[in-house]
Amino acid sequence: MATKLKIKKGDKVVVVTGRDKGKTGEVLKVLREENRLIVQGVHMVKRHQRQTMQAQGGIIEKEATIHVSNVAHIDPKTQKPTRIGYRMDGERKIRVARASGEAID
């Protein structure tokens, strides 16, 4: 069963552990079933690709998945890593940065 993640596509995140520690990027894809993300410019790997009608063949570099626990959301106010909480804004439930209380959505 897939768990609910607090990070969504389009969010700005920073890598907190691993070989790409300190790099920041935008979330391109969320894989909820595997608790993994694809982040732009982070965890780059080389893949051998066969030539197709749309793409040139050869060795290409692309983003691999990274576990959701290895990234932290960037606070929109301070530009530092923060955790995410929720707050009711009238009838809507919105995501907020725990460090500054700033709304993310």
Beta carbons of 45 and 60 less than 8 angstroms apart: no
Distance CA 31, CA 27 (A): 11
- CB neighbour list of residue 32: distance below 8 Å, 6 or more residues apart: 2, 3, 4, 5
By C-alpha distance, which of 43, 42, 37 is closest to 67?
37
Is the pLDDT at 31 greater than 90? The verdict is yes
pLDDT computed for residue 80 by the predictor: 94
93-104 tens-digit pLDDT: 999 999 999 998
Q: What is the pLDDT of residue 2?
A: 72
pLDDT of residue 1: 64
Token pair 């983003």 is found at 63
- Quick check: helix, strand or coil at residue 85? strand
pLDDT of 4 reads 86
The residue-averaged pLDDT of 51-59 equals: 93
Residue 105 is predicted with a pLDDT of 75
Cα–Cα distance, 26 to 56 (Å, whole number): 26
Residue 6 has pLDDT above 70, yes or no: yes
